[in-house]
Structure 1
């Protein structure tokens, strides 16, 4: 039985999906039952990385959704609109949807879930997080019996490549970013990656799956690597740490109304060199899940690119195709999105969370300054794990002091930092990064 596939977008990922569908030899037998029926592209005259019959190409994505020969709609065009509207249109037409669109799911996942529940169709999103890493299915099925405590990960390959180069070579951020753009690892406009937005989209999705409730994507505290100084990467290495852009969702408890309280954030983070995520280099991604009773489980692999992401898209297509073959139906709503509906979740006030911190201060090179900084921390109950003075390459009258704290209530830490900024010997707080 042939299953018609409608493809929205023929960019890097779309071309990878088409390539798999057009070469079924040696793959899962169900791939041979999948047939590309219609493909929407922006420009019909543009050269294609794959050779497709002209009659299946069109520039109207709605024509793909509405084509009666299309049984499954695959959205890989990206962006918020018209992608969101097309996904909803496909659902309204009773057609299962496979999407790699993390931005749409992070912002409109609840709306899409409700529409899919009403129509009784699948919406699968394995490719939206982690590229070729199978994390969505394990979170919703294999790990479903666990009490998840924390999900943390390196889930943006561009920033991980940049930070790996900065650590290995001592290179400046701007220079490595330019190289990443030349190599195709970073977009011409890299803001979504380097400012942390891409990682925030992904952790929003993982949070819903791990903890069973949607959260406000816009409320996730997000700090990227675009303002990171290479000296902090160097100092971290000297102190036994590596710097990674880490997205984290951590269970904090249950509030009096019964809502699950979560600490969700994205920021450059110092990891001890023996931490499981510290050894993830280059464009690779990794997601660490910690729960009871499973303990720690890490998923590692390529997080982006045509091959890995297309692999995840086709896996979702085969999931739906397998159900159709077994039952003859398009299936009921997949628990992936339904999981966002079974309990209330909310973000806690970041000031009420416990964190460890790395702080770099520029100060005058004067006797007693370290003691005065220590007193400011001590007055707020902030315990110091280490405090080190580094020589600066600038004014010899200046010094750089790096402090690493023990775990502390963030509100107290911020109050101590405000007092430190007011000290006459302190010229600037140059960096403040969480530490695991």
Structure 2
């Protein structure tokens, strides 16, 4: 049974020697939500009095602050991204049209929507528990689809001139196995660094890092696919066959290649984001680039033994990525349950409401019930608000920008009370 009361003694879970306040039992439910004793505090008590629980009739036992409502800071970052994207188009679009022709560009654009949709649907699945603000996701996509392409085009000649001769490789081998992995991963991950530095309130863990990285990579792969698909149409004597082969290789066998490369950087930066230190963020950016570049280079080196390497190396890497994502989602749910349990102990939720808010089945049942009564949007907002509240508390307990998050907590608790009233009215 979870309690908010500290339990002293070396035989108790969470005990910390040296005179520091011990942690309550289960305060650290997962590796994702680790907090230290010196930062722990009880949830604020509910002094508003009793409330009517929000529960579907058949589930009684079993963000209001919508993150899509962007703050001025999110709007500013989005505007900066759109500004950079607009001017990057003057470099990227002529290059694409010159390489593919108009017909190749149109066919490549349409065909590229298929792998793009696959990756973005995956992003939506990963991001369902604690959705990121749409302005930030749009920034990430624009950065990947346009800005990172322009950065790549600008940096490649200089990188080739400096590093090419020193590598001792012929130009083609160097361009494929060194230049492309280094420059492209740097260009994509630069967007992650900007998000971490300027939207740190929303980029505060490994799940956020994976979501933003996948979105940036989806945009980059979308534009790159337009180029490859369009060239297959424009430069081949048998465009139909060539296009089918290229589409199968890039659109069917490897739609997640760029996502996995950049996802490793996002994962590492997400862990660093929990410390909220700019120097550590930049260090994590540099460290996270290493596995991304190595994976990218290994992918580009596959040649005559492509199928064997794909099955023996790339498929296991993909399955490992799936496993990591599943573990991250499980950890998010356990963390949400624990933090909401602490609010329940302070009188903000009933135990049955925590079960409803912190499980996928409970959420689905709640939404079905609310939609049947015409209050689906209110219930959806309540579910998102409760999740956001749980993660706000996690930030407080981690000692990150505590005064600002305490203010957020007060606003979120008041908003949850209003949403509960709107659902049960």
What range is the shorter-chain TM-score in? under 0.3
Q: Which has the higher contact order (CA 8 A, sep 6+)?
A: 2
TM-score (norm 2): 0.25
